[in-house]
Amino acid sequence: MRYVARVRVDDIAAAHSLPGHPGECARPHGHTWAFEATVGTDRLDGDMVADFTVLKGVFKRLDHTSLNDDPEITADGHRPTAERVAEVLAARLQRAMDELPNRPRVLALVVRETARNEVVFTP
């Protein structure tokens, strides 16, 4: 990819629980999540890889929600783990990128549950 853009959104407050988990995470609890997306393309659209507002919007829709109530995250009995959230958000971002004329590709998506716990998903 000739052009790569990275955007980060911090301070997204969202709750979840992990039913069936043997520890404390089985109970409802919240995190202040952070997300980082890396997208790339070989050609620009309007002198940009993608409008950062479009990328950020995918993450901001999760603010002040319960991830357990998100039908895409919990489809087919999935639990809202950081890994699952990363996979679903990468797909949502890609759908948004597919609408752009230069069709950027999602290269990586980072989900930070806490300052010390993160998952990196590479589609």
| 64 catalytically annotated | yes
Q: Which of 36, 64, 83, 87 is catalytic?
A: 64
Task: Output the CA angle 82-63-19, nearest 5 degrees.
Answer: 40
| 113 catalytically annotated | yes
For the chain, percent helix, then strand, then coil, each to nearest 5?
30, 35, 35
Q: Which of 16, 36, 87, 113 is catalytic?
A: 113
Report the distance separating Cα 62 and Cα 81, nearest Å.
Answer: 14
Q: Which of 25, 78, 83, 118 is catalytic?
A: 25
Report, as residue numbers or ranges, the catalytic residues.
25, 64, 113
